[in-house]
Amino acid sequence: EKGGHDYFMLKEIQEQPAGVADTLIGHYAGGRIILDEQRLADQELREFDKVFVVACGSSYHAGLLAKYAIEHWTRLPVEVELASEFRYRDPVLDRSTLVVAISQSGETADTLEAVRHAKEQKARVLAICNTNGAQIPRESDAVLYTRTGPEIGVASTKAFLAQITANYLVGLALAQARGTKYPDEVAREFAQLESMPKLVAQVLESGDRVREIARRFAHVPTVLFLGRHVGYPVALEGALKLKELAYMHAEGFAAGELKHGPIALIEDGLPVFVVMPSAKGRAVLHSKLLSNIREIQARGARTIVIAEDGDDTVRPFADHLIEIPSAPTLYQPLLSTVPLQIFAAEVAQARGYDVDKPRNLAKSVTVE
Ligand code: M6R
């Protein structure tokens, strides 16, 4: 049942190309993005003037990525918030607000209560969920299911990649409803999504290299993660994986914040992951991150750099280089997250921990 793996989580990491591909099935036909359930009029979908994304944990990190795509494609303002904060804050909601609730289980108490609060304020709710008929989709006005199959490992892996995919489908559905993207543009983005499973599989093929790096750092006290733009939520997710699986102190930062504090943490031998933006797609950010790597390396950090294949500029500053295939900026997280999952799983195993059942954690957090 674990497909020859020691743990479900390791199998689920390997299932990610299929999880992304399956999430696309049935969501595009006749030149249009299609939701699974829609209990609101097309006109309502067209007339939202604001989007909130609410979620917890890894689903929140996927939500942070939704903001980049939805704002870029629809020009709607998007706020992303932890569900546990949103519901106690009196957010400004009305019937022209769309609340996107992301939950693998569909049963997370904080996210469910955020949905209920939003509905009380007359906002409309769209759920992205991996579990058919769970409470959150049942109480929502529209649903898009991630179709990655049940996730057994407590740490979210394949659900996370499927959520990113689903977020982008929702972004495209809104863009098509609002007319901010022409049908041929929607078709192009969908084709890009369809090309991703093959690239995710390529990243998985280089897993041995990542596992070898992980074993070297398995017993350090702290690991930091830096990223910018879509690489920032990836850094947060990499740190969360390491905390929950390896019980290691790990923090993700927006690289631009380094000089505002975190650089004080850098000391000799400290491993720091850096998620590089594409040199072609984001040249300005790429050069800024290069100078960040230089700065931390000069202060003794051991840099572990995730960069696009053929990005030779990073080589001199990478103590360890993990190459991923090139992809347009918005899609890069589907690739750059994978080595971080493999890293955390390998460190946890090297420390002798059960990666399917990390201590103190439940798969679905149904109490606050
Ligand atoms: O089922 P949900 O997506 O609502 O769960 C949200 C979080 O509890 C979940 O992502 C948690 O952070 C995972 N353990 C992360 O790996």
3-state secondary structure the chain: CCCCCCCHHHHHHHCHHHHHHHHHCCCEECCEECCCEECCCHHHHHHCCEEEEEECHHHHHHHHHHHHHHHHHHCCCEEEEEHHHHCCCCCCCCCCEEEEEEECCCCCHHHHHHHHHHHHCCCEEEEEECCCCCHHHHCCCEEEECCCCCCCCCCCCHHHHHHHHHHHHHHHHHHHHHCCCCHHHHHHHHHHHHHHHHHHHHHHHCHHHHHHHHHHCCCCCEEEEEECCCHHHHHHHHHHHHHHHHCCEEEEEEHHHHHHCHHHHCCCCCEEEEECCCCCCCHHHHHHHHHHHHHHHHCCCEEEEEEECCCHHHHHHCCEEEEECCCCHHHCHHHHHHHHHHHHHHHHHHCCCCCCCCCCCCCCCCCC
Question: Is 264 exposed, middle or buried (CB count within 10 Å of its CB: 0-12, 13-18, 19+)?
Answer: exposed
Q: Identify the pLDDT of residue 368.
A: 80
143-147, 215-219, 271-275, 357-361: range with lowest mean pLDDT? 357-361
- In short, whether 336's Cβ falls inside 6 Å of ligand 1 is no
- In short, whether 154's Cβ falls inside 6 Å of ligand 1 is yes
Q: How far is the CA of 362 from the centre of ligand 1 (A)?
A: 9
More confident residue, 3 or 109: 109
The span from the CA of 244 to the CA of 254, in Å, is 21
Residue 177 in this model has a pLDDT that exceeds 90: yes
Residue among 102, 245, 356, 365 to mutate when testing ligand 1 (max atoms within 8 A of CB): 365
Grade residue 364 by pLDDT with cuts at 50, 70 and 90: confident
Each residue's pLDDT tens digit, 39-63: 999 899 999 999 999 999 999 999 9
Q: Identify the pLDDT of residue 366.
A: 84
Q: Identify the pLDDT of residue 365.
A: 84
The span from the CA of 40 to the CA of 32, in Å, is 17
Who's near 232: CB < 8 A, 6+ residues apart? Answer: 64, 252, 253, 254, 255
Each residue's pLDDT tens digit, 276-312: 998 888 889 999 999 999 999 999 999 999 999 999 9
Q: Identify the pLDDT of residue 280.
A: 83
Q: Identify the pLDDT of residue 316.
A: 93
Percent of the chain beyond pLDDT 90?
Answer: 91
Average pLDDT score, the chain = 95
Of the candidates 127, 140, 116, which has an alpha carbon nearest to the alpha carbon of residue 167?
127
Q: Does the annotation mark 50 as catalytic?
A: no
Grade residue 147 by pLDDT with cuts at 50, 70 and 90: very high
Q: Identify the pLDDT of residue 359.
A: 85
Q: Identify the pLDDT of residue 281.
A: 80
71-85, 325-339, 346-360: range with lowest mean pLDDT? 346-360
Atom of ligand 1 nearest to the CA of 160: 10
pTM of the predicted protein model = 0.97
Across residues 115-140, what is the average pLDDT? 97
- In short, whether 84's Cβ falls inside 6 Å of ligand 1 is no
Grade residue 199 by pLDDT with cuts at 50, 70 and 90: very high
Q: Identify the pLDDT of residue 156.
A: 96
Atom of ligand 1 nearest to the CA of 241: 16
Q: How far is the CA of 76 from the centre of ligand 1 (A)?
A: 26
Q: Identify the pLDDT of residue 362.
A: 84
Across residues 168-187, what is the average pLDDT? 96
The span from the CA of 363 to the CA of 347, in Å, is 20
